[in-house]
Amino acid sequence: MPAEVLFWLVQEEGRTCLDCTVGYSGHAERILEASGSGGRLIGLDRDAMAIAASRERLARFGDRALLLQGHFADLKQHLAAQGIRRVDGILFDLGVSSPQLDEAARGFSFQGDGPLDMRMDQSTGETAAHLVNQWPEAQLADTIFQFGEERFSRRIARAIVSARARQPLATTQELVAVIEGSVPAKYRHGRLHCATRTFQALRIAVNQELECLEGALRDAVEVLSPGGRLCVISFHSLEDRIVKHTFRALADQEDPELAILTKRPQVATSEESTRNPRSRSAKLRAAQRVTMEGHA
């Protein structure tokens, strides 16, 4: 949703924006182009490969683009380390990026075959293989149900535990085969691939995507300049719910810190949805830092 992001974030030239999930810099490039020669962008991402690709893509902007590998949960520390106290706009584009999905070796997608990794930062943390081979059945079932909203979560978890007793699950296609064998035939051939929700749930669990979101949003508001804007694009109902409730909590308190700009989340246009099917589930919410005394 690049046009919508620019509409909300780039109010005038010469401002500084923080892209908390810079990815392969699709939004970052557009923001830098729109923000004039005095505009700056700080880009954060957990994925070292994404940072390397963005450095190359944004090289033409010189020192107007500053790219840092790191988690948005630590955004305040990353900004402080660069001597930056305030920014004028902040973007979160949550979830997994298209290049991550498209590269089978990362293990995010059930479409190809690769190791069960799913880590956005491959230098740390437990892989999806660890989860499916080590977690108790009840924990797997609860995770697949809560993060994937998968109605056959208990059957899938039971099948995973049974399969790993024979041989540890190591690849995405091994996991897909287990899922396909555990769900009803009608579900196996439905509109949505029967592994979609389980893979989503495991990815969210591996990267602890929901646990740190509210805290990061609150930190983002703290580093926004008065009048600065915050945009969040989510692709999952649980993410969107956290964004909505956090925005509302900061806007409805006695001394509000935010003014909500989008009463309902914006969705991708039909043209963008056709061109980029992954944008169909995107929801964008925007808010503005209240310019009250005491919040400057």
Q: Which tokens hold the place of 226?
A: 């008065």
What local confidence, expressed as pLDDT, does residue 102 receive? Answer: 82
- Rounded to 5 degrees, φ, ψ at 150 are -95, 115
For CA atoms 232, 233, 237, 239, the dihedral sign is: negative
Residues 6+ apart with CB under 8 A from 257: 221, 250, 251, 289, 290, 295
Cα–Cα distances in angstroms (integers) from residue 189 to residues 149, 176, 253, in the given order: 18, 13, 48
Give yes or no for a contact between 212 and 205, defined as CB atoms under 8 angstroms apart: no
- Higher pLDDT, residue 153 or 269: 153
Q: 107: phi > 0 → left, psi -120 to 50 → alpha, else beta; which?
A: left
Nearest-5° Cα angle at 238, 236 to 240: 70
Q: What is the mean pLDDT of residues 144-164?
A: 97
Confidence of residue 287 (pLDDT cuts 50, 70, 90): very high
For the stretch 202-241, pLDDT in tens is: 999 999 999 999 999 999 999 999 999 999 999 988 999 9
Q: Which of 26, 36, 25 is nearest to 66 (CA)?
A: 25
| Strand-strand pairing, 40-45 and 283-289 | unpaired
- Specify the DSSP element, H or E, that contains 226: strand 224-234
Share the mean pLDDT of the chain.
93
Compute the distance between CA of residue 36 and CA of residue 40 in angstroms, rounded to an integer: 9
What local confidence, expressed as pLDDT, does residue 278 receive? Answer: 74
CATH class of 2-95+210-289: alpha beta
pLDDT at residue 279 tops 80: no
Alpha helices, H only, the chain: 2-9, 26-34, 48-57, 75-81, 98-102, 128-134, 137-148, 153-166, 172-182, 185-188, 196-207, 213-223, 237-252, 270-275
Q: Which tokens hold the place of 170?
A: 């190591």
What local confidence, expressed as pLDDT, does residue 112 receive? Answer: 87
Least confident of 111-115, 127-131, 164-168: 111-115
What local confidence, expressed as pLDDT, does residue 96 receive? Answer: 83
Return residue ranges of the chain for CATH 3.40.50.150: 2-95+210-289
pLDDT at residue 295 tops 70: no
Please give the CATH architecture assigned to the domain spanning 107-207: Orthogonal Bundle (1.10)
Say what percent of the chain tops pLDDT 90: 80
- Rounded to 5 degrees, φ, ψ at 276 are -135, 90
Confidence of residue 274 (pLDDT cuts 50, 70, 90): confident
Write the single-letter amino acid at 197: R
Q: How many residues does the chain have?
A: 296
| Strand-strand pairing, 258-260 and 40-45 | unpaired
Compute the distance between CA of residue 142 and CA of residue 156 in angstroms, rounded to an integer: 11
Facing residues of 229 across strands? Answer: 89, 288
For the stretch 23-81, pLDDT in tens is: 999 999 999 999 989 999 999 999 999 999 999 999 999 999 999 999 999 999 999 99
What local confidence, expressed as pLDDT, does residue 292 receive? Answer: 56
- Rounded to 5 degrees, φ, ψ at 185 are -55, -40
Return residue ranges of the chain for CATH 1.10.150.170: 107-207
Rg, the chain, Cα only: 20
Helix, strand or coil for residue 33?
A: helix
pTM of the model: 0.90
